[in-house]
Amino acid sequence: MGQEIDNTNFTRADFSEFQKRLEAETALLEQMLKAGKFERTEPVAGYELEAWLIDENGNPSPANEKFLGKLADPEVVAELALFNVELNGMPQTLTGMALSRMQSQLEARWNKCQQTANKMQLDMLAIGTLPTIREHDLCLANMSHLKRYQALNQQVLRLRDGRPINLNISGTESLKLKHDDVMLEAAATSFQIHMQMNAEKAGRYYNIAKIISAPMVAVGANSPYLFEKELWQESRIPLFEQAVSVGGSDYSRRVTFGVRYVEHSIYEVFESNCKRYPVLLAMLMDSPPEKLSHLQLQNGTIWRWNRPLVGFNANGVPHIRLEHRVVPAGPTHLDQMANAAFFFGLITALVQDEKLEQRLSHESVKDNFYAAAKYGMHTEIKWLDSENISLRKLCLDKLVPLAAQGLKQLKIAEQEISKYLEVISARLETMQTGANWQLKWVRKYGKNWQQLVLEYKTRQNTGVPVHSWDI
């Protein structure tokens, strides 16, 4: 969710002043981009993993404050709910053995977290939606005690005129309910893939990230159940979009796929943040305008599935990176890094085609994304030049080879390319994602949600990728 704030009560004057500063910083961003003030670098990779704390029965355990106190690792932080934490990876220049280094660092940090959790008779779990979560778990009493989250809840409800959140998901089964706060969002956890690139190319990378969101969400699907209902292959997508629902269209919703491609510059996204989205958190900061603090805070309250971010290096030089948010947490660290490798390779290969956006409309890209989230690799999508094709066939025949090509362009080591893309290929061949494994398990053993979570945890702990999991 981003930076902490020091206040939860904002006045009308605060909102007015924040908007004024946001407009000034947005204009300054445009000037900085045009003047080439942004860091020039080889592609840099990173990630954020949102995870669950569960008890011995597979139920969520609201214990992250005690857990984080015992762990004492600044790269593991609280999430919205007391039963979630977030693990942050150290950025890696995307070349050579970068993927294995990222996986090794993730495994080391995860093992440290697991040891701390075990001392509390708890476990760590990486999964998109936890099958044992219940609506009553998602209450304000289980909200992490950070002012940012309290303010977020207050302001979302303010913009909704106090109306409750309506959750309405139609899938294999249907789920309809009303909820009085933003805590529904805590039921959706992801493996967010970060990639930093040169700012002048960021708009094209943003567009390509949208184009590949359908295959990414399909091959990574791991969220078929919510509140005992079988919904979408990746139920996180409609859940998160509706959990902080503010605004009546894609021009104003806080969680969105977006309405068009970037045409000229990544600045267009930040311009829309300023012009189209009401301020949620009006915290006024003393930092100079060139630090873009208000722009960053506003951007942190708009959760695009592909979100550009402005950051600064240790020397204070700004950079642009892309946060790809469509992939769920889990099933294993190897699976997650394979998803990242697929993304890095695909985006690097496809960004070379300067006319790609002309060959596939944004409307088709958006339709592909939601169809893939709902039906997974079973769905047929529209690809380049109006080709209708099975998503699974597209990935096997075209996209995995393209990803290999892109990773070679990045000078990723050959053994890395084989290691990680073979996991993606095997998942496609077997048609066993985390979502499909869960579905098959329930078909065989019934709706024993606690046992499903415990069986999933046992297999996750082996590190064996999900395509090889037995039922």
* pLDDT on residue 250: 60
Q: What percent of the chain has a predicted confidence (pLDDT) above 90?
A: 90
Average pLDDT over residues 409-437: 98
* pLDDT on residue 424: 98
* pLDDT on residue 1: 41
Q: Which fold has domain 37-251+307-466?
A: Creatine Kinase; Chain A, domain 2 (3.30.590)
**What is the C-alpha to C-alpha distance for residues 324 and 327, in angstroms, rounded to an integer?**
8
Average pLDDT over residues 205-222: 98
* pLDDT on residue 392: 98
**What is the C-alpha to C-alpha distance for residues 135 and 152, in angstroms, rounded to an integer?**
19
> What residues form DSSP beta bridges with 412?
96
**What is the C-alpha to C-alpha distance for residues 174 and 184, in angstroms, rounded to an integer?**
16
Please report which confidence band the pLDDT of residue 3 belongs to, taking 50, 70 and 90 as the band edges.
low
Give pLDDT tens digits for 62-94.
999 999 999 999 999 999 999 999 999 999 999
Average pLDDT over residues 21-32: 98
159 HSE (CA, 13 A, CB side): 20
Q: How far apart are the two ends of the chain, measured CA to CA in Å?
A: 35
Inform me whether the pLDDT recorded for 245 exceeds 80: no
**What is the C-alpha to C-alpha distance for residues 471 and 460, in angstroms, rounded to an integer?**
13
Average pLDDT over residues 422-450: 98
Inform me whether the pLDDT recorded for 247 exceeds 70: no
* pLDDT on residue 147: 86
Closest CA to 79 of 70, 71, 88: 88
Give pLDDT tens digits for 254-283.
899 999 999 999 999 999 999 999 999 999
Residue 225 — φ and ψ, nearest 5°? Answer: -125, 140
Please report which confidence band the pLDDT of residue 252 belongs to, taking 50, 70 and 90 as the band edges.
low
Q: What percent of the chain has a predicted confidence (pLDDT) above 70?
A: 97
Give pLDDT tens digits for 347-356.
999 999 999 9
CB-based contacts of 190, cutoff 8 Å, min separation 6: 48, 50, 128, 236, 325, 326, 327, 328, 329
Give pLDDT tens digits for 386-422.
999 999 999 999 999 999 999 999 999 999 999 999 9
Inform me whether the pLDDT recorded for 291 exceeds 70: yes
Average pLDDT over residues 7-28: 93
CB-based contacts of 184, cutoff 8 Å, min separation 6: 138, 165, 167, 239, 242, 243
Q: Where are the domains of the chain?
A: 37-251+307-466
If you average pLDDT over every residue of the chain, what do you get? 95
